Structure 1
Amino acid sequence: MAKTIFVIYATISTIVLVFSNALLGFFFFLPIVLLPFHDLIMLHARVKVKLFWKENKRICKKVLTNKKHQPKRLVLFVYGLLK
């Protein structure tokens, strides 16, 4: 899934680079240049989520184990990143 999105994004950015002005193309192309740093960014995110998990373990377990609250998993994850 992620590879497909990346291929689509790369194709769009290439088209933008060729057919649009260079500045707009540069902003589309920038994330592809930053792709090698993706692992570092994700590692940083994981560390933040782990810290959030430690602080709010009881709430997290209650939400993650309850089937009614499945959609809240993403909310907890994002909230953990923003905290």
Structure 2
Amino acid sequence: MDEPIDFLRQPGEPDSSVSNGFANPLDLFNYASPSAWINTAIVELTGFDAFGYFTEWVSGDWAAMWKFGDAMANLADCM
């Protein structure tokens, strides 16, 4: 039997890709979206991702939520 405390470890980093390495069919819409073209131009000219900033501001820090879920899974394994 393993020691329960061995299951208490730091949560991992979230996957940087929403599609987890698979092709994302929603990316096709970016090729037809003028707003995606404008945002790409702004990012290339200024280095500031306006859509990414606004999305994070509205929806919150999803990386922290992912880490919380991982920490809860580790705690469940410990219990």
**TM-score bracket for this pair, using the shorter chain length:** under 0.3
Higher relative contact order (CA 8 A, sep 6+): 2
Q: Which one has a larger percent helix, Structure 1 or Structure 2?
A: 1
TM-score of the superposed pair, with normalisation by structure 1: 0.26
